């Protein structure tokens, strides 16, 4: 999608380490702790002042190297991915979906990629200059790039697959949507001011946000230190919730620019972060324009995709459908159910979602073996047996289903196909699932 203004780019630049980490594990990001340095003694700031420093950052250009590490407590599953495949895991209609060697290889590669994201370490290059941006993820055997350039849309490039996807949007339609939405916003603002008086100031909004945050979280300023060779403050968030697995979230904020340089999440009772992402080097000089230029090489597979721009009326209808559950029902997709709030939030996916498929696949190994076609049954049984082996390796059998536990997240797959997940203890998750019926 084509960027509309530099405001979004500034926010993107400021929170790159944060958005690079999986938000799904409770409080979002995890940061690498600051390198304590006795020589660093920054002026004292309150948590409120530190948040104001970060929110007021106006950096528009930067580049650097980001490293992500994961120690979630999952076993080494790399040996299982080579045999994954078969009819159950191949993509219908895709080349190799007949369960042959191509299907096995594609499926194995996909699972290996997924496990790598969960358990592996990653290095990426980040470049930002106004409305231009590039994220370059460096893999062992190639690289993946996301290019965002004003007037050119977004390019997604995978060097290993030699494939490029070009995402564009009708800018005129997008501008019209923005103008119409802003006119509606003015109407809402005028109505609100007429009913309750003038709107609160940004400072009052910040005070209210900190007050709500303080109800469930202890917010403090930690130890001054250095990240990527720069002096930085440390913002520390400690949950006041015994049900969560998160012990501490630490964010390193550049003392000069207010840019987030690092983030880490440490599990309750642990000494080292379970997940971290941080700049190892960073520059606030404008990157060379050449790093934002992309032309698909000869022989590459290129896919063009234009994002349709809805009207305000369509957006409002989608919102209404989402709130009522009609959207999911119309598309045959289950609507997630949220239990609780804050750090101990648990999300439930009803039956017919991924959980049912996983358990059916695991249970179908025996059925495939007893099929009338010996060769077909044996092939299916082998694929399902591999899936069952993978499931057994990462889950523990509990009353009513299987549970997956990591240092920062717990997932329960019930026998009836529902899936419960959250950054909570297994005991809390099981209690929520039991009360959900």
Which pLDDT score, from 0 to 100, does residue 14 have? 40
141-152: pLDDT as tens digits = 678 899 998 778
How many other β-carbons are positioned within 10 Å of the β-carbon of residue 366? 12
User: pLDDT band at 310, cuts 50/70/90?
Assistant: confident
Give the chain's mean pLDDT: 74
User: pLDDT band at 325, cuts 50/70/90?
Assistant: low
240-255: pLDDT as tens digits = 999 999 999 999 999 9
121-137: pLDDT as tens digits = 888 999 999 989 999 98
Which tokens go with 98?
């007949």
Which pLDDT score, from 0 to 100, does residue 281 have? 95
Q: In this structure, are residues 232 and 41 in contact, taking their beta carbons and an 8 Å threshold?
A: no
DSSP 290: G
Could you please report the per-residue DSSP string of 63-98?
A: EEEEEEEE-------GGGGGG--STTTSPTTSTTTT
What average pLDDT does range 53-71 have in this prediction? 89
What average pLDDT does range 177-206 have in this prediction? 66
Closest CA to 1 of 156, 145, 110: 156
pLDDT at 208 exceeding the cut of 80: no
Instruction: List residues bridging with 246 in a β-sheet.
Output: 267
- Beta-sheet pairing, 260-267 with 275-283: antiparallel
Residue 149: CB partners within 8 Å, gap ≥ 6?
Answer: 131, 132, 155, 292, 293, 294
In whole angstroms, give the CA distance from residue 365 to residue 358. Answer: 12
Which pLDDT score, from 0 to 100, does residue 8 have? 40
Which pLDDT score, from 0 to 100, does residue 21 have? 32
- Beta-sheet pairing, 230-239 with 61-70: unpaired
pLDDT at 322 exceeding the cut of 80: no
Which pLDDT score, from 0 to 100, does residue 39 have? 65
Least confident range of 50-59, 241-250, 295-304, 389-398: 389-398
pLDDT at 139 exceeding the cut of 80: no
**269 φψ region: left (φ > 0), alpha (ψ -120 to 50), beta (else):** left
More confident site: 371 or 237: 237
Which pLDDT score, from 0 to 100, does residue 345 have? 92
Judged on CB neighbours under 10 Å (0-12, 13-18, 19+), 275 is buried
Least confident range of 52-56, 116-120, 187-191: 116-120
Which pLDDT score, from 0 to 100, does residue 152 have? 82
What average pLDDT does range 217-237 have in this prediction? 93
Give buried/exposed letters for 395-423 (b at 16+ CB in 10 A, else e): beeeeebbbbbbbbbbbbbbeebbbbbbb
164-187: pLDDT as tens digits = 999 998 878 877 877 877 777 776
265-285: pLDDT as tens digits = 999 999 899 988 899 999 999
In whole angstroms, give the CA distance from residue 193 to residue 223. Answer: 42
Tell me if residue 174 falls in helix, strand or coil.
Answer: helix
Which pLDDT score, from 0 to 100, does residue 316 have? 77
Closest CA to 56 of 102, 14, 5, 99: 14
In whole angstroms, give the CA distance from residue 381 to residue 388. Answer: 10
**Own/partner pairs, 172-179, CB within 8 angstroms, 24+ separation:** 173/309, 174/2, 174/4, 174/309, 175/4, 176/309, 177/309, 177/310, 177/311, 177/312, 177/315, 178/4
User: pLDDT band at 189, cuts 50/70/90?
Assistant: low
Tell me if residue 60 falls in helix, strand or coil.
Answer: coil
More confident site: 185 or 332: 185
Which pLDDT score, from 0 to 100, does residue 87 have? 36
Q: In this structure, are residues 160 and 13 in contact, taking their beta carbons and an 8 Å threshold?
A: no
pLDDT at 358 exceeding the cut of 70: no
């Amino acid at each position: 999608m084509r960027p509309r203004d530099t405001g979004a780019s500034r926010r993107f630049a400021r929170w790159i380490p944060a958005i690079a980490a999986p938000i799904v594990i409770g409080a979002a990001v995890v940061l690498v702790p600051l390198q304590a340095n006795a020589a660093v003694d920054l002026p004292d700031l309150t948590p409120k002042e530190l948040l104001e420093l970060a929110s007021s950052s106006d950096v528009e250009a930067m580049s650097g190297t980001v490293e992500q590490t994961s120690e979630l407590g999952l076993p080494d599953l790399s040996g299982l991915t080579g045999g994954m495949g078969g009819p159950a895991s191949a993509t219908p209609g895709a080349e190799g979906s007949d369960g042959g060697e191509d299907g096995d290889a594609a499926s194995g590669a996909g699972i290996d990629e997924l496990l790598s994201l969960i358990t592996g370490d990653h290095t990426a290059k980040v470049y930002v200059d106004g409305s231009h941006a590039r994220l370059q993820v460096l893999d062992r055997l190639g690289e993946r790039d996301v290019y965002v350039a004003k007037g050119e849309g977004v390019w997604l490039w995978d060097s290993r697959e030699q494939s490029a996807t070009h995402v564009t949007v009708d800018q005129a339609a997008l501008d019209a949507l923005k103008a119409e939405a802003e006119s509606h916003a003015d109407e809402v603002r005028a109505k609100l001011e007429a009913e309750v008086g003038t709107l609160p100031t940004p400072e009052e909004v910040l005070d209210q946000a900190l007050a709500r945050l303080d109800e469930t979280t202890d917010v403090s300023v930690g130890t001054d230190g250095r990240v990527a060779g720069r002096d930085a403050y440390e913002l520390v968030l400690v949950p006041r919730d015994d049900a969560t697995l998160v012990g501490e979230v630490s964010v390193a904020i550049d003392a000069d620019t207010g840019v987030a340089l690092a983030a880490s999440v440490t599990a309750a009772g642990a000494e080292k972060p379970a997940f971290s992402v941080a700049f190892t080097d960073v520059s606030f000089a404008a990157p060379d324009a050449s790093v934002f230029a992309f032309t698909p090489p000869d022989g590459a597979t290129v896919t063009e995709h234009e994002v349709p721009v809805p009207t305000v009326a369509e957006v409002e209808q989608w919102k209404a459908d989402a709130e009522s559950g009609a959207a999911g029902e119309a598309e045959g997709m289950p609507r997630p159910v949220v239990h609780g709030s804050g750090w101990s939030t648990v999300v439930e996916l009803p039956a017919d979602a991924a959980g049912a498929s996983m358990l059916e696949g695991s249970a179908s190994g025996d059925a495939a073996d007893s099929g009338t076609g010996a060769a077909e049954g044996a092939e299916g049984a082998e694929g399902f047996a591999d899936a069952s082996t993978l499931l057994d390796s990462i889950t523990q059998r509990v009353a009513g289903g299987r549970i997956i536990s990591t240092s920062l997240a717990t997932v329960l797959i019930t026998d009836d196909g529902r899936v419960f997940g959250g950054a909570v203890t297994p005991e809390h998750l099981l209690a929520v699932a039991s009360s959900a019926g």
